[in-house]
Structure 1
Amino acid sequence: MKAAIFDGTEELKIRDLPIQEPKHDEVLIRIDSATICGTDQHILEKKFEAKPPVVLGHEFSGYVERVGSSVRICEPGDLVSVEPHVYCGCCKPCRLGKPHLCLDRLAWGINLNGGFEQFATVRMDTVYRVPDHLSGEEAALGEITGCCLNGIDRANVGIGDTVLILGGGAAGLILARLAELRGAAKIMISEPNAGRREQIRRFGYPDVIDPLNENLADIVLSATGGLGADVVIDAAGRPETAAQAVELACHAGRILFFGVMAPGKKIEIEPNRVFARELTIVGSIRNPFTHHRVMEIMPRLRLKDIVTHRFALDDIQEAFAAAKRGDGLKICIKPNG
């Protein structure tokens, strides 16, 4: 089979690899769709650790090809989504019921071969059957949607909230969909990319702000009677948006740092503002026990148009260039055509 190998350099290499036959507790998947995540880009830019040589791609789906003798949760022909993390079960976070913070975590597409290949062999406990009538591309969004659901839970979005999302890429739109389902009364999205702003409106969110040419603070305060947003989510992962989030939250507001910011980046926060307004600032990472919930709710999220660009495996460098430029929303690799 063909696979895109990360060898520690800034370009993935297409190589031939043997297909790994599944052990008794494993599932062999013919990859349908594997989407590019910001983490994949950070790995190539040496801003995030991976263990080369390894096949990247931790957001993927496919059809079951073969199963090990102990596997009962799926059978050949099933469309499945993969939750890519493998936890040790023995460290303190794991034993406190927070395995997503595992100190010895492994992950398909980070330090185990992931989805940018024609076939992947994964543990059965990371495999989830996909509801009928969902496409492989929607199924590949299970991992990022699970991360977004964790963020919405952490920010405690509720009925009647005004939610401001800074960054209108794929994650920003998925966060908006989930906030809508949780009962948010108003959703505002700040996005500097003109093409993405138009796509956001087509998804049904008219309150889209161009932060490069409009005064974001004035618009948010005007829309909230001078109070600020109940929930502010930094989905861009940039120092300037993280700092803005603190300034745009109302009294008793909740701030979520969701976007992945490169390690070492810092922002200035006025502690008195956090104190005087009783702000709550939380982070969220990965998707603890959310993948099953995501599969249950995915048919209601209407995410099929999140994938805007598709590339063959041989064209993966072009796909990463498109992702880096900010083309569209989600870039998808189709390893088997």
Structure 2
Amino acid sequence: MKALVIEAPFQASIKEVPYPAPGKGEVTIEVERAGICGTDIHIFKGEFLSSYPIIPGHEFSGVIHEIGEGVTGFAAGDRVTAEPNIFCGQCPFCLTNRGNHCDQWQATGVTQNGAMAEYVTVPAQNVFRIHDSMSFGVAAFIEPMACVVYAMNRLKLKVGDRTLLFGAGAMGQQLIQSLVHAGASELVVVDLSPEKLQIAKQWGATKTVLSHEIDEHLSTVHYPRGFDVVIDATGIPAVIEQAFRYLGPTGKYLQFGVTAQDSKISLSPFDLYQKDWTLIGSMAINHTFYPALNWVKENRVRLDHLITSVLTLDEVPAFLAEGANSNQLKIQVQIA
């Protein structure tokens, strides 16, 4: 079968690789759509947890092609998506509802071959059927939406919280809709793209600010008490360091954007102490795939408009080398 293979940092090509037959308790999915995530970019650049060679792709949907021994409840032809995170279910983290920190954590497309290929094999317990009315493009969004659901569970936003979000990309746009549903009052969004900010305003931002105008609009003159909640969805260390300037007393900071492994920022420990800050990380998914699927199925969060480009598999190596432009949101790959 044909697949995108990252052989080493900055080395990606389309290759013929063996078909991944399902083992016991597994299914093989013929991939229809796969999303390109910021994590995939980090993997391409050698900045994440992956070893090489690796077939990336952890946001995907498709049709069950083959069922392995012992699998029940599924049939060839079922329209599905799948959670990429694979937990052992037996370690202390798994047994205390912290599976995303599993001692034996694995992930399709990150530590195991993923969905930037014609076929991908996953544990049957990670597979979820999608309704016939749901497009494969939207279904490939369930994984990033599950990351958002986990982040919202971690954040525990209070109704009326005044919120500042850095980053209006695809993940930021999902956070915007989720924050609105969760009860944010003022929701200020910062980005360098006017086009992305316009979409943010349409879907719930109460105010948008261009990155280079942040001092003009978010100074202590305008926000003397800061914000109750500040969220980073950029993964850019310079933005993250700047974000703390706007966090008010007893405020909560959420690090949602993925950074390179060796990134560093400076943070005042006195501010952390004196202002009673709460700092929150949000690592991937933690049993939030099914709630995300339900939220999307009921159109609580709309995703269609976030797909700004669809590539063929053959076009992905060039895209990885060149990078996306600042106005693009979610880029997906049509496989089948």
| TM-score calculated relative to the size of structure 2 | 0.92
Of residues 231, 234, 252 in structure 2, which corresponds to 1:233?
231
8 A contact 1:56–1:109 mirrored in 2: yes
Q: How many residue pairs align between the two structures?
A: 334
**Residue aligning to 1:290:** 288
**Alignment match, 1:181:** 181
Amino acid in structure 2 at the alignment position of 1:174? Q
Which residue in 2 is equivalent to 1:148? 148
Q: What letter is aligned with 1:331?
A: I
Aligned residue for 1:74?
74
- In the alignment, what sits opposite 2:119? 119
Instruction: Note if contact 2:9-2:43 (Cα within 8 Å) is conserved in structure 1.
Output: no
Q: Which residue is equivalent to 2:245? A: 247
Identity over aligned pairs, percent:
29
- C-alpha distance in 2, partners of 1:175/1:288? 17
Question: CA deviation digits over 1:152-174, x for unaligned, max 9?
Answer: 11111121112211111111111
Name 1:39's counterpart in structure 2: 39
Partner of 1:165: 165
Structure 1, unaligned stretches of length 5 or more? none
Q: Is the 8 A contact 2:148 2:175 kept in 1?
A: yes
Bigger CA drift: 327-336 or 190-199?
190-199
Q: TM-score under structure 1 normalisation?
A: 0.92
Cα gap change, 1:20 to 1:268, in 2 (>3 Å) = closer
Residue 219 of structure 1 is matched in structure 2 by 218
Contact map agreement 1:41 1:324 (CA 8 A) in 2:
no
Within the alignment, does 1:13 sit opposite 2:9 as a pair?
no
The 1:191–1:307 alpha-carbon spacing in structure 2 relative to 1, beyond 3 Å, is same
Deviation at 1:36, TM superposition (A): 0.8
Between 91-100 and 146-155, report the one with greater CA deviation. 91-100
Matched residue SS, 1:215: helix
Q: Which residue of structure 2 lines up, in the alignment, with residue 281 of structure 1? A: 279
Counterpart AA for 1:267: I
| Offset from partner CA, 1:179-223 (integer Å, 9 cap, x none) | 11111122211001233223333445352110213426x437566
Deviates more, 1:55-64 or 1:13-22: 13-22
Deviation, 1:280, is 0.7
User: Is the Cα–Cα contact under 8 Å of residues 36 and 320 in structure 1 kept in the other structure?
Assistant: no
Give deviations 1:77-127, integer Å, cap 9, x for gaps.
322121101123344423332110123211111221101001111110111
Alpha-carbon separation, structure 1, partners of 2:50 and 2:90: 22
- Summarize the Cα distance change of 1:63–1:201 in structure 2 as closer, same or farther, 3 Å threshold: same
Contact 2:187–2:204 at 8 Å: present in 1 too? no
Opposite residue 37 of structure 2, the aligned amino acid is C
Residue 132 of structure 1, CA deviation = 4.4
Contact 1:201 1:208 in 2 (8 A): yes
Distance in structure 1 (CA, Å) of the matches to 2:208 and 2:151: 21
CA RMSD of superposed structures (Å): 2.0
Query: Distance in 2 between the 1:318 and 1:206 partners?
Result: 37
Deviation of the 1:232 alpha carbon: 0.6
Match of 2:330 in 1: 330
Q: Which residue of 1 aligns with 2:30?
A: 30
Identify the residue that residue 257 of structure 2 maps to in structure 1. 259
CA offsets 1:133-159 (integer angstroms, 9 cap, x no match): 221111111111111111111111121
Tell me, in whole angstroms, the C-alpha distance in 2 between the residues paired with 1:86 and 1:9: 24
Tell me, yes or no, if the aligned pair for 2:176 and 2:200 is still in contact at 8 Å.
no
Distance 1:255 1:66 in 2: 44
Structure 2: give runs of 5+ residues left out of the alignment: none
Contact 2:60–2:115, Cα closer than 8 Å, also in 1: yes
1:315 aligns with: 315
Look up the match of 1:94.
Answer: 94
2:101 & 2:163 partners in 1: Cα distance?
A: 27
The 3-state SS of whatever aligns with 2:20 is: coil
Q: Which amino acid aligns with 2:238?
A: E
Structure 2 CA distance, aligned partners of 1:321 and 1:154? 34
Write the letter of the residue equivalent to 2:149: L
Flag the 1:206–1:80 CA change in 2: closer, same or farther, 3 A.
Answer: same
Equivalent residues in 2 for 1:193-212, closer than 5 Å: 193-205=193-205, 207-212=207-212
Alpha-carbon contact 1:235-1:258 (below 8 Å) kept:
yes
Deviation for aligned residue 1:28: 1.7
Give distance in 2, aligned partners of 1:121 and 1:214. 46
